[in-house]
């Protein structure tokens, strides 16, 4: 159970909508009285009142800095029309970026009878997408040590920024069910690490463990570059498309982590459920590259389509059928 780390997905979805010009930072949303009765002053809060109107920018600062449950509700309802509509978008976005073992039932992570759940790997996937897709918005809204709103100053409980070299976020969470958790990130010398700690019984234990993991990651492991962004790594068969195959491309830089001072053998394999079905958009995630470093658990990174594949018309379908029969 991610508790308030759920709000990272709410922020990420908002960043995606801003990038698509569906949402604007200066857009204002009102805290509906009916929603205030349920969510007002519920847990961590910006101390919003019914009928308060806030900009998307202020709501994002409240969500990322002081974990404002009320701000997450106002943003979700305002942007999608309802919390159900917002969580539907959250789950669709989670599936899109490869969070295959997660589900969100609220925009803020308050207890919901188990409808909201994640894995550590999925949270790392979310953190990677947050930072790599939206570096400017990430830097603008995450990593603040405090927030003052309506004359009330509240501290950010995130245990990294300003305390760990290179750290810049991301988010803590706590409920009695979930325990104390954190999703954090730091960058040193062009290398970024993400850490997840969950289920701790005390905040200081969580914070100490998370900082120690980050320091261990930087000191004990090296990153061996494998491929640059845009490198074609293979091809995949396509069904019902105007072409029979497409390129599988690295969506970003790909590297392999291994213990420092070692040069272990690396094996690579491509995995996808095929044949892929058209239409497919250029840049759409369609496969994964599995990286196996000798003596370490395998890891997978997404591969994207290198070109558009439109749905085949009648002549293309006839041609594809003939080629398939002949082969």
pLDDT value at residue 196: 98
How far apart are the C-alpha atoms of 275 and 108, rounded to whole Å? 38
Write the DSSP assignment of 219-275 as a string of letters. HHEEEEEEE-TT-EEEEEEEESBSSSEEEEEESS-EEEEEETT----EEEEEE--SS
> Phi and psi of 32, rounded to 5°?
-60, 140
pLDDT value at residue 2: 98
pLDDT value at residue 107: 97
Instruction: List the structure tokens of 301.
Output: 């990174």
Cβ atoms of 34 and 155 within 8 Å: the answer is no
How far apart are the C-alpha atoms of 190 and 9, rounded to whole Å? 25
Report all structural domains of the chain as residue ranges with CATH numbers, in order of start: 3-222 (3.40.710.10), 228-326 (2.60.410.10)
Write the DSSP assignment of 83-129 as a string of letters. HHHHHHHHHHHHHHTT-TT-B-SSSS----TT--B--HHHHHHHHHH
pLDDT value at residue 190: 85
pLDDT value at residue 312: 87
pLDDT value at residue 280: 96
Write out pLDDT tens, residues 150-199: 999 999 999 999 999 999 999 999 999 999 999 999 999 889 999 999 99
Under-50 pLDDT residues of the chain: none
pLDDT value at residue 151: 94
pLDDT value at residue 317: 55
pLDDT value at residue 318: 54
pTM for the model? 0.87
pLDDT value at residue 98: 87
Write out pLDDT tens, residues 56-78: 999 999 999 999 999 999 999 99
């Amino acid at each position: 159970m991610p508790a308030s780390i759920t709000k990272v997905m709410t922020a990420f979805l908002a960043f995606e909508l801003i990038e698509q010009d569906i949402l604007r930072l200066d857009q204002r949303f009102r805290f509906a009285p009916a929603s205030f009765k349920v969510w007002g002053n519920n847990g961590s809060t910006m101390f919003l009142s019914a009928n308060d109107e806030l900009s998307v920018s202020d709501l994002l600062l409240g969500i990322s800095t002081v974990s404002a449950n009320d701000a997450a509700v106002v943003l979700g309802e305002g942007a999608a029309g309802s919390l159900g509509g917002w969580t539907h978008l959250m789950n669709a976005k989670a599936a899109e970026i490869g969070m295959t073992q997660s589900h969100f039932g609220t925009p803020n992570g308050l207890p919901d009878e188990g409808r909201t759940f994640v894995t550590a790997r999925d949270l790392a996937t979310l953190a990677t997408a947050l930072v790599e897709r939206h570096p400017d918005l990430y830097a603008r809204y995450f990593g603040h040590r405090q927030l003052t709103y309506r004359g009330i100053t509240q501290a950010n409980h995130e245990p990294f920024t300003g305390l760990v070299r290179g750290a810049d976020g991301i988010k803590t969470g706590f409920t009695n069910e979930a325990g104390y958790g954190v999703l954090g990130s730091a960058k040193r010398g062009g290398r970024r690490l993400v850490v997840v700690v969950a289920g701790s019984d005390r905040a200081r234990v969580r914070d100490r463990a998370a900082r120690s993991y980050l320091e261990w990651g930087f000191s004990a492991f090296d990153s061996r570059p494998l491929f640059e962004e845009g490198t074609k790594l293979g091809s995949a068969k396509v069904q019902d498309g105007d072409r029979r195959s497409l390129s599988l491309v690295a969506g970003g830089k790909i590297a392999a982590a291994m213990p420092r001072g070692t040069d272990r053998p690396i094996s690579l394999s491509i995995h996808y459920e095929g044949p892929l079905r058209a239409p497919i958009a250029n840049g759409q995630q369609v496969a994964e590259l599995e990286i196996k470093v000798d003596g370490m658990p395998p890891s997978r990174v997404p591969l994207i389509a290198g070109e558009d594949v439109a749905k085949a018309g009648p002549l293309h379908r006839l041609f594809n059928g003939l080629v398939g029969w002949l082969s």
